[in-house]
C-alpha cells in the first residue's frame, strides 16, 4: 500500500470515528461519499457545499480556478479546491483573491472569512486587512475580520507582519500548530489559542495535491490530532 493510500485509509477511519467538518450533515454526507485522492490535471474543485462564486459567477464542479480569480462563499458554504500544487478549504462568508502566474499561486488576499491552505515549496504571501504573511511550503489557517486577524502556522515557517506597522514582524517556526497569533488593527501581534480547524482537514487537502502532512494523526508524541 502506498503512503497516499494509507493516508486516505487513515483519513476515512478518523473521519468516521470523530466527524470531519463543522458543517451540515448534508455537506458531510457528500464529502464522505468520495475517497480523497490527488485531483487530475485540469480539475480544480473537490467539493462545493452551498454557494461559491468565482469572479461573480456561480461555480460548479467543472469550474477551473486560476490565479487572478476572486472567490466568494455564501452563508453555510464550504469550498475545497486546488490550484497547481496548493490546496484550499474556504469557509462560509469568505472573500478570497488569488494572484500569480499561470497555475502558480504567488499570493492571496483574504478580505473576510476563513481559509485553510497548504502550499507547495515555492514562496507565497498572504494578506488580510491587518497582516501580511510570508510563507514557504507551509500549512496555514487564517481568519480575517476588519479589526482582527487570526493566523495559525499549522506547520512550517512563516513571517508575520502587522499591516499598520511593517516593522513589527514575528517569525514563526511550527511543527504542529505551535504558535497561533492574533494581529490587531493597531499593529500588535499577540498569542492566540488553537481554534476552528483540524488535522483531518489538513490531511484531506494535502492528499488532493499528492502530499501528506508532516505529522501522523495517530502519533501520540503530538498529543493526538488537533481539532477545534
Structural domain boundaries in the chain:
45-199
Distance between alpha carbon 139 and the CA centroid of its chain, in Å? 7
Helices (H), 78-173: none
* pLDDT for position 11: 53
Specify the 3-state DSSP secondary structure of 197: coil
The class of domain 45-199 in CATH terms is: mainly beta
pLDDT one digit per residue (tens) for the chain, 228 residues? 445 555 554 555 455 434 444 444 444 444 444 668 899 989 999 999 999 999 999 999 999 999 999 999 999 999 999 999 999 999 999 999 999 987 789 999 999 999 999 999 888 999 999 999 999 889 999 999 999 999 999 999 999 999 999 899 999 999 999 999 999 999 999 999 999 999 999 999 999 999 988 876 544 443 444 544
| Cell numbers found for residue 68 | 487572478
Rounded Cα distance between 103 and 202, Å, is 21
Report pLDDT for 220: 41
- What is the Cα–Cα distance from 55 to 23, expressed in whole angstroms? 24
pTM here is 0.83
Cell match 490546496: residue? 87
* Confidence (pLDDT) at 57: 98
The Cα 137–Cα 122 span in angstroms is 7
Confidence (pLDDT) at 37? 85
pLDDT of amino acid 222: 39
Alpha-carbon distances, residue 214 vs 112, 195, 206 (angstroms)? 28, 20, 10
Q: What pLDDT score does 24 carry?
A: 42
Amino acid at each position: 500500500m502506498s503512503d497516499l493510500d494509507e493516508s486516505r485509509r487513515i483519513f476515512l477511519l478518523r473521519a468516521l470515528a470523530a466527524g470531519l467538518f463543522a458543517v451540515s450533515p448534508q455537506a458531510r454526507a457528500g464529502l464522505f461519499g468520495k475517497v480523497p485522492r490527488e485531483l487530475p490535471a485540469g480539475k480544480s474543485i473537490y467539493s462545493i457545499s452551498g454557494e461559491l462564486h468565482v469572479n461573480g459567477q456561480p461555480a460548479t464542479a467543472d469550474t477551473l480556478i486560476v490565479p487572478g480569480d476572486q472567490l466568494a462563499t455564501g452563508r453555510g458554504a464550504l469550498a475545497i479546491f486546488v490550484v497547481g500544487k496548493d490546496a484550499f478549504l474556504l469557509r462560509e462568508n469568505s472573500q478570497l483573491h488569488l494572484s500569480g502566474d499561470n497555475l502558480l499561486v504567488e499570493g492571496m488576499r483574504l478580505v473576510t472569512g476563513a481559509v485553510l491552505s497548504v502550499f507547495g515549496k515555492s514562496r507565497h504571501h498572504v494578506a488580510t486587512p491587518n497582516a501580511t504573511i510570508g510563507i514557504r511550503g507551509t500549512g496555514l489557517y487564517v481568519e480575517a475580520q476588519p479589526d482582527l486577524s487570526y493566523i495559525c502556522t499549522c506547520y512550517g515557517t512563516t513571517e508575520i507582519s502587522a499591516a499598520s506597522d511593517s516593522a513589527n514582524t514575528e517569525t514563526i517556526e511550527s511543527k504542529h500548530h505551535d504558535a497561533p497569533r492574533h494581529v490587531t488593527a493597531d499593529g500588535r501581534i499577540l498569542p492566540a489559542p488553537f481554534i476552528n480547524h483540524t488535522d483531518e482537514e489538513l490531511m484531506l487537502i494535502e492528499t488532493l495535491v499528492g502530499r501528506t502532512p508532516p505529522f501522523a494523526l495517530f502519533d501520540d508524541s503530538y498529543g493526538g490530532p488537533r481539532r477545534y
